[in-house]
């Protein structure tokens, strides 16, 4: 006999140990519209809101997919319920009830606009990826973008996120309803500032008064989000069913660690967000820098050094004692000083949490995936920090090991004929194929990659000689991380 499908009626059949929503879903009101309700939103923001609904019934979610019907089709029979599986050493499940409504912009446009215009809607949040903001290379709104051009000509039938947000704000203003706050939850530098600038620029093309109103009245707090959320697959569906005893068409999974930092502005004091674990901070940039330098930088370090040493996943690499010790020293001795004398967060606790995440056996995060797009990632994750360390007179030998390892990785992939996943893949493959393995011959070849090896740093003998030493040591990666280097 097949297990029952997840619905409100079947919650009584869920196996013990599964966490259930104990609030009355029918008594909640929709106070937040989320655009882009993919796996990350359902594992992250919806989790926090599900917790908040136990004490504050005003914040249920209307999930708005601009084009895709997938979420609505999967969760409508489940009344918006779904299973969240936390991937620790002993996985556990929680049924999330925060999503009360599922709309698709292309088919439910009037219902979606009515929800955006509703006085109850106080926040519109977004997880639409950087591409969804329709920005140019300077992070300004790209008025030539096809979706933006369409929306400017057809404002009541928008395709873009920006078009939807501005039209929703226009309708609120016309009805005398205060604007909603717009909360970007995407990994975009200064996301709130960039988003507001795009909204104002879009509105200004057709309605200068609306643009001035948005500039003066609409709040777009900066945010930072963090939690590893692997994609849903049949293995997860089977795991969720085994834990809960019920069928779920679209469960999701994430690591136990979760973080949501939001700029401390008046609109965020309308609910007790702190009580559910949201950090309200005056300077979100501190947390952005910590994530970039103490999480992303070590991640890339594990990827390139780990692959050279024969490992497949982050957890595998962390079982390499020499590599794990190297990464911890890199974090404590080289990366944490770059945050400043008083960074505004507990750096020691943050490092401990990151190391625990790396060691989590429940997450199989492949090093090959982390190694993608190195020419874009390394400049912000490690190169900037290295330049700062140079100017401050701090050591740089550990900081340059992952950069040298990236170069060795490129050479290895090119020599083996393995495709390189990188925006600069063709040039990198050509460089790697021409390399000899000797630092003095190979570094000049890589020097054309100026984002990773900036000319100003390459002109410094200390930088160049230290990088040459690291590169040559990695000819034998198993012996490279010796005590004198660590």
CATH number at residue 230: 3.40.50.720
249, 296: one domain: no
Neighbour count for residue 22 (Cβ, 10 Å): 8
Domain termination site, one of 282, 299, 318:
282
pLDDT digits (tens, 9 = 90+) for 164-173: 999 999 999 9
Cβ–Cβ < 8 Å for 190, 224: no
Q: According to the model, what pLDDT value does residue 2 have?
A: 85
366, 274: one domain: no
256, 291: one domain: no
243, 381: one domain: no
For range 355-384, the mean pLDDT: 94
Domain termination site, one of 257, 282, 307:
282
For range 392-398, the mean pLDDT: 96
Within-domain flag for 486: no
pLDDT band at 484 (very low <50, low <70, confident <90, very high): very low
Neighbour count for residue 352 (Cβ, 10 Å): 13
474, 342: one domain: yes
User: Given phi > 0 = left and psi -120 to 50 = alpha, else beta, which region is 90?
Assistant: beta
Write the CB contacts of 406 (distance below 8 Å, at least 6 apart in sequence). Answer: 300, 304, 371, 374, 378, 452
473, 477, 482, 486 alpha-carbon torsion, rounded to 10°: 90
Q: According to the model, what pLDDT value does residue 477 have?
A: 83
What whole-number percentage of the chain has pLDDT above 90?
Answer: 92
Residue 463 has pLDDT above 60, yes or no: yes
What's the mean pLDDT when you consider all of the chain? 95
Q: According to the model, what pLDDT value does residue 364 have?
A: 87
Within-domain flag for 62: yes
Q: According to the model, what pLDDT value does residue 106 have?
A: 93
The Cα angle at residue 410 between residues 409 and 415, in degrees rounded to 5: 100
pLDDT band at 486 (very low <50, low <70, confident <90, very high): very low
For range 30-37, the mean pLDDT: 98
107, 47: one domain: yes
Q: According to the model, what pLDDT value does residue 263 have?
A: 97
What whole-number percentage of the chain has pLDDT above 70?
Answer: 99
Residue 231 has pLDDT above 50, yes or no: yes
For range 392-416, the mean pLDDT: 97
Domain termination site, one of 239, 254, 282:
282
175, 274: one domain: yes
How many structural domains compose the chain?
Answer: 2
Residue 341 has pLDDT above 80, yes or no: no
pLDDT digits (tens, 9 = 90+) for 187-196: 888 999 999 9
315, 189: one domain: no
| Cα 262 from Cα 288, distance rounded (Å) | 11
Neighbour count for residue 300 (Cβ, 10 Å): 21
pLDDT digits (tens, 9 = 90+) for 119-154: 999 999 999 999 999 999 899 999 999 999 999 999
Neighbour count for residue 345 (Cβ, 10 Å): 18
335, 237: one domain: no
Q: What is the CATH number of the domain that holds 405?
A: 1.10.1040.10
Within-domain flag for 5: no
Cβ–Cβ < 8 Å for 363, 255: yes
Q: According to the model, what pLDDT value does residue 298 have?
A: 97
- At residue 354, φ and ψ (nearest 5 deg) are -65, -45
pLDDT digits (tens, 9 = 90+) for 435-460: 999 999 999 999 999 999 999 999 99
Residue 78 has pLDDT above 70, yes or no: yes
Neighbour count for residue 287 (Cβ, 10 Å): 24
Q: According to the model, what pLDDT value does residue 482 have?
A: 64
Within-domain flag for 1: no
Neighbour count for residue 461 (Cβ, 10 Å): 8
- At residue 428, φ and ψ (nearest 5 deg) are -65, -40
40, 133: one domain: yes
Within-domain flag for 20: yes
Residue 219 has pLDDT above 60, yes or no: yes
Domain extent for 315: 285-480
192, 296: one domain: no
pLDDT digits (tens, 9 = 90+) for 286-309: 999 999 999 999 999 999 999 999
Residue 343 has pLDDT above 90, yes or no: no
Cβ–Cβ < 8 Å for 323, 304: no
Residue 203 has pLDDT above 60, yes or no: yes
Within-domain flag for 39: yes
pLDDT digits (tens, 9 = 90+) for 96-118: 999 999 999 999 999 999 999 99
268, 289: one domain: no
User: Given phi > 0 = left and psi -120 to 50 = alpha, else beta, which region is 80?
Assistant: left
């Amino acid at each position: 006999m097949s297990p029952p499908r997840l619905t409100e009626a079947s919650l009584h059949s869920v196996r013990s140990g599964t966490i259930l929503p104990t609030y009355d879903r029918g008594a909640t009101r929709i106070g937040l519209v989320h655009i882009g309700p993919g796996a990350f939103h359902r594992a992250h923001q919806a989790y926090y809101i599900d917790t908040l609904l136990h004490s504050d019934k005003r914040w249920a979610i209307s999930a708005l997919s601009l084009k895709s019907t997938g979420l609505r089709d999967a969760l409508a029979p489940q009344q918006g319920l779904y299973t969240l599986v936390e991937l620790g050493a002993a996985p556990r499940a929680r049924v999330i009830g925060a999503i009360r409504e599922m709309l698709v912009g292309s088919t439910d446009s009037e219902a979606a606009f009515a929800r955006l215009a509703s006085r109850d809607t106080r926040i519109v949040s977004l997880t639409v990826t950087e591409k969804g903001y329709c920005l140019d290379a300077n992070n300004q709104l790209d008025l030539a973008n096809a979706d933006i051009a369409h929306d400017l000509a057809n404002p009541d039938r928008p395709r873009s996120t920006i078009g939807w947000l501005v039209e929703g704000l226009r309708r609120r203003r016309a009805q005398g309803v205060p604007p909603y706050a717009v909360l970007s939850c995407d990994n975009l530098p200064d996301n709130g500032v960039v988003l507001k600038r795009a909204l104002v620029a879009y509105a200004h093309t057709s309605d200068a008064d609306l643009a001035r109103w948005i500039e003066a009245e609409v709040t777009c707090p900066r945010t930072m989000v963090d939690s590893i959320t692997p994609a849903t697959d049949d293995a997860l569906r089977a795991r969720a069913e085994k834990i809960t005893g019920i069928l779920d068409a679209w469960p999701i999974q994430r690591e136990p660690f979760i973080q949501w930092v939001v700029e401390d502005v008046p609109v965020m004091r309308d609910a007790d967000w702190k009580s559910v674990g949201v950090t309200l901070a005056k300077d979100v940039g501190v947390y952005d820098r910590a994530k970039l330098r103490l999480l992303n930088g070590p991640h890339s370090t594990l990827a390139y050094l780990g692959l050279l040493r024969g490992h497949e996943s982050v957890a595998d690499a962390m079982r390499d004692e020499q590599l794990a010790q190297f990464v911890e020293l890199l974090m404590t001795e080289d990366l944490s000083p770059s945050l400043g004398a008083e960074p505004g967060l507990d750096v020691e606790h943050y490092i401990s949490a990151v190391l625990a995440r790396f060691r989590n056996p429940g997450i199989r995060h492949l090093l090959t995936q982390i190694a993608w797009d190195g020419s874009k990632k390394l400049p912000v994750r490690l190169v900037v920090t290295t330049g700062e360390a140079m100017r401050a007179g701090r050591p740089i030998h550990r900081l340059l090991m992952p950069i040298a390892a990236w170069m060795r990785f490129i050479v290895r992939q090119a020599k083996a004929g393995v495709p390189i996943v990188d925006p600069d893949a063709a040039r990198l493959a050509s460089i790697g194929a021409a390399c000899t393995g000797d630092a003095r011959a190979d570094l000049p070849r890589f020097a054309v990659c100026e984002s990773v090896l900036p000319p100003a740093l390459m002109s410094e003998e200390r930088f160049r000689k230290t990088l040459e030493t690291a590169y040559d040591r990695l000819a034998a990666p198993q012996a490279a991380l010796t005590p004198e280097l660590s």
